[in-house]
Chains A and B, each alone.
Chain A
Amino acid sequence: MALETLIESLPSLFDGLTVTLLLTAFGIILGTILGIVLATGRSYAARPLAYLILIYEKVLRGIPLLVLFFLIYFGLPQIGINFDAFTAAVLGLGLRSSAYQAQIYRGAINSIPEGQIHAAFSLGMNKLKAIRHVIIPQMLRLSIPGWSNEFTILLKDTSLAFGIGVIELMRQGRYIQVRDPDLVLIVFLLIAIIYFVLVFTANKTLRYIEKKYQMAGYQAEAHR
């Protein structure tokens, strides 16, 4: 009976969900760390380096994620670089996200008045200290709305890892569909709901964090 098959399949969906969450976590961590480095590098590093970063961003924002996955997972082994599917997916997600996040952070950096870094220098901070203690803390606060967006996009895009055989939520759904084609509607509805709940919860949490770390006096007030 269909219902029984569905219930029997639930643990496998749960396994898939775990993989999806792991992809999201590793991907966003990689993307965030690299994104911050890229953005500060683009704004404060010497010319040639800043220019290289610009090229990196343009390239990674210019190719579809699935193509990136294929390049990393199927392409790189040809030149002797091998990754398992999960690592390849994390790399693809993280690298692409870093390019988008760099844009978010750069926008935030540009909105910090230049005088702040002058003030930091005047206290005797070197460039690195000024960036670390004055620019980055403000940049991160200003970036939370954009970062939330990027987070939810990355979470949903983990489903593309299906394409290189990572057994995440989508792939588990597909297995159930193959076993019992009658379940296709209900299974993918269920998967859609899981994604939705994840994104919804993430947005709520991040909105809370955004409010908590808001710089006093910098909240945009609604004028309705």
Chain B
Amino acid sequence: MVMLEVKDIYKSYGKVPILKGVSFTMKKEQTKVIIGPSGTGKSTLLRCINQLSPPDKGHVWLNGEEITNPKTNINKFREKIGFVFQDFNLFNHLTALRNVSIGLEKVKKIEKEEAQKRAMQELTRVGLKAQATQYPAQLSGGQKQRVGIARALAMDPDVILFDEPTSALDPELIGDVLDVMKSLCGKVAMLVVTHEMGFARNVADEIIFMEGGVIVEQGAPKEMFTNAKMARTKEFLGRIGALYGEEETGG
């Protein structure tokens, strides 16, 4: 069953067109990875989905209900759509635990004690039980991002959008975050914009290759990596593969 449907999304910033008609669908608990060169509109696409920057044209449905309908209460939908940011965007004045529980307390109106219990479970799930009382500034980048993931998970979303979740991290910290994301596979739908080809190849159910504001090609990772139909996809994957090294694709 289709959980998320994105249809014919257009978005410009000023006169510069960023997205020129993007459509795709996602099933429940599916993992999709969006790859493509910088400036192609991958992040913009994610922000169009949860309406952080509403599209100029096009529609988005979540479980059959239209998000892009102007009459809809967007906040209700955003509860169901987790978002993990490239630069974490943790709340600086709150501990790791409160970062995770605040959505439960203030949006879901769950009692503070209950919310924090739930938050602690999510922190444990991402391996940060011991860091619960620390503030964002006291955490490493990788830890911050895992708090970010726990914060999204706590809301019990239908889908989590990841906007280059490892791009701001030191290489040795990327693994921890990717491991957490792998562990979520098949438990919650994930739409991931990333340059981590190893993750795309091994974890994704499907890969979407975007360039110039459109989807050039999409398909299963195996197909895309070994037998891409479009020349441009081949070229991009070839270049990226050479850059990041083939050994990553093994694990």
Q: Do A and B belong to a common assembly?
A: yes
Q: Are A123 and B102 in contact (CB under 8 A)?
A: yes
Q: A124-B76, A124-B103, A125-B75 are in contact. Are A119 and B89 (CB under 8 A)?
A: yes
Given A116-B91, A215-B92: A123 touches B103 (CB 8 Å cut-off): yes
User: Which residues of B (81-118) have their CB < 8 Å from a CB of A?
Assistant: 81-83, 85, 87-93, 102-103, 106-107
Residue of B nearest to A132 (CB): B106
Known A118-B52, A217-B135, A217-B136; judge A124-B75 contact (CB<8 A). yes
Interface residues on B, range: 20 to 34
A129 an interface residue at 8 Å Cβ cutoff? yes
> Taking the complex as formed, is A137 at the interface, i.e. its CB lies under 8 A from any CB of chain B?
yes
**Given known A129-B107, A216-B138, contact A118–B85 (CB-CB < 8 A):** yes
Please encode chain B, from 184 to 205, with 1 for each CB lying within 8 Å of some chain A CB and 0 for all others: 0000000000000000000000
How many angstroms between the C-alpha atoms of A125 and B89 in the bound complex? 15
- Contact indicator B137/A218 (Cβ below 8 Å): yes
Q: Determine the residue in chain A with the shortest Cβ distance to B90.
A: A119
B78 in contact (CB, < 8 A): yes
Smallest CB gap from B94: residue in A = A137
A28 vs B165: C-alpha distance in the bound complex, in angstroms? 44
Decide if A78 is an interface residue (CB 8 Å cutoff). Answer: no
A123 and B137 contact, Cβ closer than 8 Å, known pairs A115-B89, A118-B89, A218-B92: no
Q: Which chain A residues lie closer than 8 Å to B79 at the CB level?
A: 123-124
Interface mask (A117-153 → B, CB under 8 Å = 1, otherwise 0): 0111111111001000110011001000000000000
What is the total of A-B residue contacts with beta carbons within 8 Å? 75
User: Given contacts A123-B151, A124-B103, A124-B155, are A116 and B75 in contact (CB under 8 A)?
Assistant: no
Question: A118–B137 Cα gap in the complex (Å)?
Answer: 19
Q: Is B50 interfacial (CB-CB < 8 Å)? A: yes
Given A133-B106, A217-B136, A115 and B87 contact (CB-CB distance below 8 Å): yes
Q: Report Cα–Cα, A189/B89, bound state, in Å.
A: 53
Known pairs A216-B138, A217-B137; list 14 more (Cβ under 8 Å). Answer: A116-B92, A118-B52, A118-B85, A119-B91, A119-B151, A122-B82, A123-B103, A123-B155, A124-B76, A129-B107, A215-B93, A215-B137, A216-B135, A218-B92
Q: List 29 A-B contacts (CB under 8 A).
A: A113-B87, A115-B89, A116-B91, A116-B92, A118-B52, A118-B89, A119-B151, A122-B50, A122-B78, A122-B83, A122-B152, A123-B78, A123-B103, A123-B107, A123-B155, A124-B75, A124-B79, A124-B155, A125-B103, A125-B107, A129-B106, A133-B106, A137-B93, A141-B93, A216-B134, A216-B138, A217-B135, A217-B136, A218-B92
* Interface positions of A (Cβ within 8 A of B): 113, 115-116, 118-126, 129, 133-134, 137-138, 141, 215-218
